[in-house]
Amino acid sequence: MTWFWPEGFYTLAMVGSFALGAFALRLPIAVAMSAAAIVGGLLAGFGVPVRHLVEGMFGYIDTTLIIACAMIFMRTVQDIGLLEAVASRGIRKFRGRPVLLSAGVMFLIMLPGMLTGSSTAACLTTGALVAPILLRLGVPPPHAAAAIALGAIYGMIAPPVSIPVMIIGGGIDMPYVGFALPLLFATVPLALMVSLFLIYPWLRKKDSIDETGLEAELSRMEKAPLTFRLFLPFSVLIVLMALEQFFPERFFIGMPLQFLIASASAAFCGQKWNPIASGTRAVNDALPVLGILMGVGMFVQIMTLNGVRGFVSVSALNIPPWLLYVSIVVSIPLFGAISSFGAASVLGVPFILALLDRNQILAGTALALIAGLGDLVPPTALAGIFAAQVVGEKNYFKALVKCALPGILTALWGVAIIAWAEKLTPFLTR
C-alpha cells in the first residue's frame, strides 16, 4: 500500500480538513468532522453526497439514544440528591481510611461513564461533584483534575455500557455479549492504581485537609436523607438490566427504555423533582457528545464510500507483526484527539481484523481501552479539559502532565491484554 494511491490522498485530505476546521478555525468537533466528510465526497467525485451524509448521521442512532437516556437517568439521580448523599456519607465513613476513600472516590467518578459510555458525562456529573471535596481534602488541582479525567475514561470503557467496544464490535458484526468481566479486568486495576497514585498520598497528610471547608461542603451535600427509598431508580435499573441479561428472549426492551423507566421511578422517591427540567439539562449536557457521534458517523460513511476505510483496513493488515503493537499504541490515541469514538471506528475495526488470531472479545476490550486515551490527547483532550474546568485549573496541560505516566501504563496494559489474550481467555470469557 502507498499513500500516493487516491485513497491515501483522500485520507490525508479528510484528516487535514478536520484539523484545519477544528484547530485553526475553532469549529465544533462535530461540524469539523461533517465538513471533512464533505471534502472527502467532493475529492472522490461524488459531489456532496447528501444521502450518505444523512445515512452516516444516523449510523450510531442506538448509541446516541443510550447516551441521551443514560444522561437523563444520571441527571435525575443527581437532582433527587442521591449522588450527593452517597458521596457525603461515604466520605464521612471512610475519612480515617485513606486507601478505601481514594478507591471510593474513583468509583464514584467512574459511575456515570459506566452508565452512559461517555467520559464527558462523568467529568460533568460526579467529577464536578467530587472536585470541591478533593480540593478540601488537600489534593492539588492538577492531581484532582488528572484523577477525574482518568476515572472518567476508565468509566467510559467499563461495563455495563462501553460505547467504544460497541462501535468496534459493530464494525465486525460482533454482539455486545460476554464483555463484562474482560472490561472490569481492563479497567478496575488501573482505576485502583490511579487512586493510589494521584489521590491517596494527599489524603494521608492530615495537616493538608481543610476541615472547616470540608465540613461545610459535606453539610451542603446532605440535602436529602440517604434512605432505601432514595435508591429506587438504581434498584429499578438493576432489576431491568438483570431481567434482560438472564431472560433475553422473554424480556428485551433495550437500554434506552430501561434508563427512562428507572428515571420515571424517581417520582416515588419522596423528593421534589422536575422531570422536564432534569431531562432538558441532561440532553443539553449530552448534545456535544451526541453531535460528535453524528459527525463520526458521517466521517466514517464517506470514508467507506470513497475507499478510505478499506485503504486503512488493508494497511493495518499489512503491518508487520513486530510493528503492530507500536502502531496500535501510537495511532489509536493520536486519532482519538479527533474523537475516541472515531478512533474506535476508523482504527479499532481494522486493528481487530489484524488480530483475528486472538480472542476477539479480549482484543476488542484492549483496543477500546487504548482508544479511550484519545480523550487525553491535545488539543481536543475532552476529558482533560472538562476535568480541569470542574476543579478550577485554568491550564489543563498541568492536568495532562499528571496523566502521562498512568496513560502510558494504560496503553501497556492494553497491549498486555492482547499479547496474553489466549492465556486469559479461560478466566475471562465463557
What digits encode the pLDDT tens for the residues 379-401?
678 899 889 999 988 888 999 99
- Residue 141, pLDDT > 50, answer yes
Nearest Cα to 108, choosing from 93, 92, 88? 88
State the helix-helix crossing angle for 396-419 and 141-157, rounded to 10 degrees. 40
Cα distances (angstroms) measured from residue 189 to each of 143, 183, 196, 253, 332: 19, 11, 11, 32, 22
**pLDDT score at 48:** 92
Cα 129–chain centre separation: 18
Number of H helices, E strands in the chain: 24, 0
- Structural domain span for residue 361: 50-428
Structural domains of the chain, count: 1
Amino acid making up residue 157: I
* Dihedral angle of Cα 370, 374, 132, 274, to the nearest 10 degrees: -100
C-alpha cell at 116: 452512559
Cβ contact 171:349 at 8 Å: yes
Per-residue pLDDT at 337: 75
**Residue 354 φ/ψ, nearest 5 degrees:** -75, -10
CA dihedral 53, 56, 57, 62 (to 10 degrees): 170
Neighbours of 77 (CB within 10 A): 28
What does the pLDDT read at residue 357?
A: 86
Residue 107's pLDDT band (cuts 50, 70, 90): very high
Grid cell, residue 314, equals 488493508
Buried b (16+ CB within 10 A) or exposed e, 331-361: bbbebbbbbbbbbbbbbbbbbbbbbeebbbb
Q: Could you tell me if residue 19 is inside a domain?
A: no
pLDDT for 125 equals: 84
> Stretch 76-92: mean pLDDT, rounded?
85
The C-alpha atoms of residue 430 and residue 428 are separated, in whole angstroms, by 7
pLDDT at site 154: 97
pLDDT grade for 4, boundaries at 50, 70 and 90: low
Contact residues for 203 (Cβ-Cβ < 8 A; gap 6+): 98, 101, 102, 137, 138, 139, 209
Q: Between the CA of residue 69 and those of 76, 129, 344, what are the distances in Å?
A: 11, 20, 22
Strands (E), 238-377: none
Q: pLDDT-derived band of residue 366, with 50, 70 and 90 as boundaries?
A: very high
**What pLDDT does residue 362 have?**
95
With respect to residue 219, please indicate whether it lies within any of the assigned structural domains. yes
Residue 17 lies in a domain: no
Percent of the chain with pLDDT over 90: 38
Q: Is 212 exposed, middle or buried, given 0-12, 13-18 or 19+ CB atoms closer than 10 A?
A: exposed
- What's the average model confidence in pLDDT over 237-254? 83
Gap between the Cα atoms of 412 and 407, Å rounded: 9
Selection from 145, 86, 80 nearest residue 111 by Cα: 86
pLDDT score of 20 more than 80:
yes
- pLDDT surpassing 90 at residue 93: no
Q: What is the pLDDT of residue 232?
A: 92
Q: What is the mean pLDDT of residues 28-57?
A: 91
Instruction: Please report the pLDDT score of residue 136 as a whole number.
Output: 86
Question: Sorting pLDDT into bands at 50, 70 and 90, what band is 142?
Answer: very high
CA distance 150 to 153: 5
pLDDT band (50, 70, 90) for residue 178:
confident
Domain contains 16: no
**pLDDT for position 414:** 96
Q: Which residues contact 248 (CB under 8 A, 6 or more apart)?
A: none
Give domain status of residue 40, yes or no: no
Q: Is residue 150 part of a domain?
A: yes
pLDDT-derived band at 3 (thresholds 50, 70, 90) equals very low
**Residue 209, pLDDT score:** 67
Domain-embedded: residue 208: yes
CA angle, residues 120, 124, 129, in degrees to nearest 5? 140
- pLDDT for residue 5: 67
In-domain check, residue 9 = no
Q: What confidence score (pLDDT) does residue 188 get?
A: 96
For residues 87-108, give the mean pLDDT: 88
